[in-house]
Amino acid sequence: MGMSSTGAGNVSEVAVSLEALEPLVTAPETDATFPVEAPFTGDEIGRLPACVSADVEAAFDRAAEAQTDWRDRDVSDRAAVFIRYHDRIIDNREELLDLIQYETGKARRHAYEELLDVAITARYYAYRAESFLETEPRAGALPGMTETTVNYRPVGTVGIISPWNYPLSLSVSDAIPALLAGNAVVLKPDEQTSYTALKAFELLLEAGLPDDLVQIVTGDGPTIGEPLVANADYVCFTGSTETGRAVASQAGRHLTDCSLELGGKNPAIVRADADIDRAAEGLVRGCFTNAGQLCLSIERLYVHEAIYDRFLDAFVAAVESMPLGTDYSYDIEMGSLISGSHLEAVEQYVEDAVAGGATVLTGGSPRPDIGPYFYEPTVLEDVDESMALCAEETFGPVVAVSAYSDDADAIERANDTDYGLNAAVWTDDLDAGRQLAERIDAGTVNVNESYAAAWASLDAPMGGMKDSGVGRRHGEVGLSRYTEAQTVAVQKHLGMTAPPGVPYWLYAGVMSRLLKLQRRVPGLR
């Protein structure tokens, strides 16, 4: 196996004081704690409160109280906090990156992508919230007689449930527009990576966010998740499709609106006219960023038969030259999986595929010599429907490659999935790329990139079709989902019925003529 590796990270070098973060958890009723471990070594790094239902109730009470002042502030006042936060995130980057790596075991360059995401999200919404929230005039019922406006009011307190794979980005980036819209937030980060979320919110307090406006509850998903969904005025959930269904059905019972950002089994298509080296480089990142523990990760790779062998030579060589390791430096290209149980799940998928006849082109083994939960970047061929990894999200560094014959074949295979989160097309013919993209059933499609181009296009909506989600983050909708649209219609001059003394038959006749006129005049339609 040609992959190089660099030796054990020295976790004692991490400068962040975890003890100082623990009081940021809302846990008035809790004595029990749970352990958090460092995936690079498997060592316990600290313990956090295992919150219970009563803590969640207390968190919502405090948040709601803080929200009453916050929602009345000018939007520009609220925005100023996030403009300061943008700079704080960048200025504190080394400490934040250390902590993310410590808690997730990911490579530093992948931790840096989280930091970039939070910074651009803070900037984007801070400078646009005012226009997104502005009261808008709308066409009234009768031109000139009804003056109609729409107000965007905060929903109240938003409940956010986030996963472990991008603990900075997915805890904070959905909270930023919620807060800017005038809401409070109660956050439940994943139990494996809550310190990162606590650190991110400590920086938000330093940037001037009022005390209590964000509450963080830590601990077990089902235990805290239920009361969180029950108390929230809106639920923003990011995680697996299975948990997403449970959250959605609970939110449905409470008639609470929600957005669900769920799993994927994302395809990439490499056309015959693609630049092979560029595609190979971009797909190594697409398949193995964060060791494949990325919702947008490419797990199915369809390559045109005319370039299949040449592409695979370049791709496998690029995979094998990736440095794996536990360093706190940018030199490493792939880090650890999050935990022993996730390593087992990934191993199981690959073993099952190999037993069913899949061919391992590279990788296929754990790497305990580097760290307890490391798994090699793995490229498989001859994967078919009899194998679980053909249709299920492995969420690990594993990709299945096969050849296709023409665009129609590629589209059919790309769409042959219950998921619809992300996709990629590699081609030198950009028009053909756009046309292909339109026929793929996925919420985002990247042309000549795997995931980052669409994700970082913050002005455009982002989310999943089919079983990959409900609703969208990013763009205007990423903020307006946290508001209640309120229509105010002021009726001037004539009322909405026959004026006094005018018989209704006459009113109906005049109105009918006016309706016909209105349809004919372009400015009144």
Strands 184-188 and 444-447: unpaired
Out of 238, 256, 266, 336, the only residue in the binding site for ligand NAD (CB under 6 A) is 238
Distance of closest approach, residue 221 Cβ to ligand NAD, in angstroms = 2
335 part of the interface to ligand NAD, by CB under 6 A:
no
**Least separation, in Å, of the C-beta of 438 and ligand NAD?**
21
- Provide the greatest CA pair distance for the chain: 93
DSSP string, 292-355: G-STT-EEEEEEETTTHHHHHHHHHHHHHTPPEE--SSTT-SB---S-HHHHHHHHHHHHHHHH
Instruction: Considering the complex, state which of residue 295 and residue 425 has its C-beta at the smaller distance from ligand NAD.
Output: 295
Q: Is 262 in the site for ligand NAD (CB under 6 A)?
A: yes
The DSSP call for residue 329 is: S
Per DSSP bridges, beta strands 324-325 and 5-6 are parallel
Q: Are 50 and 218 in contact (CB under 8 A)?
A: yes
Q: Which is nearer to ligand NAD, 6 or 250 (CB)?
A: 250
Least Å distance between CB 394 and ligand NAD? 10
| Single-letter amino acid, residue 478 | G
The two structure tokens encoding residue 450? 């795997």
Q: Which residue is nearest to ligand NAD (CB)?
A: 225
Q: What's the min distance (Å) between Cβ of 245 and ligand NAD? A: 10
Binding positions for ligand NAD, 267-296, rule CB under 6 A = 295
Backbone angles phi, psi at 384, to 5 degrees: -130, 180
Choose, by CB under 6 A, the member of 182, 263, 363, 377 that binds ligand NAD: 263
Looking at the Cβ atoms of 124 and 308, the one nearer to ligand NAD is 124
Rounded to 10 degrees, the C-alpha dihedral 290/296/300/302 comes to -110
Strand order through the sheet with 483-491: 136-138, 146-154, 483-491
| Residue selected from 137, 222, 500, 522 as contacting ligand NAD according to rule CB under 6 A | 222
Contact yes or no for 425/221 (Cβ under 8 A): no
Q: Which is nearer to ligand NAD, 164 or 404 (CB)?
A: 164
Min CB(443)–ligand NAD separation in Å: 9
Residue from 9, 49, 264, 371 that binds ligand NAD (CB under 6 A)? 264
Residue of 37, 113, 261, 393 marked catalytic: 261
416: three-class secondary structure by DSSP: coil
- By C-alpha distance, which of 291, 305, 281, 381 is closest to 333? 291
Q: Of 183 and 293, which CB lies nearer to ligand NAD in the complex structure?
A: 293
To the query of whether residue 412 is one of the catalytic residues in this protein, the response is no
Separation between Cα atoms, residue 364 and residue 350, nearest integer Å = 7
Q: State the minimum distance, in angstroms, from the CB of residue 162 to ligand NAD.
A: 6
Q: What is the DSSP string of 338-361?
A: S-HHHHHHHHHHHHHHHHTT-EEE
**Smallest separation (angstroms) from ligand NAD to the CB of 396:** 11
User: Looking at 326-464, which runs of residues are DSSP E strands?
Assistant: 359-362, 378-381, 398-404, 419-420, 422-426, 444-447
Which positions from 475 through 514 interact with ligand NAD, judged by CB under 6 A? none
Candidate ranges 32-40, 186-194, 269-277, 279-287; the one touching ligand NAD (CB under 6 A) = 186-194
When asked if residue 469 is in the footprint of ligand NAD (CB under 6 A), the reply is: yes
Minimum CB distance to ligand NAD smaller for 54 or for 502: 54
Mark 242-261 with x for binding to ligand NAD (rule: CB under 6 A) and - for no binding. -x--xx-------------x
The one-character DSSP state at 499 is: P
Q: If you write DSSP's letter for every residue of 212-229 in order, what string do you get?
A: TSEEE--S-HHHHHHHHH
Tell me the catalytic residues.
261
Give residues in contact with ligand NAD (CB under 6 A): 161-165, 170, 188, 190-191, 221-222, 225, 238-240, 243, 246-247, 261-264, 295, 393, 395, 421, 464, 469
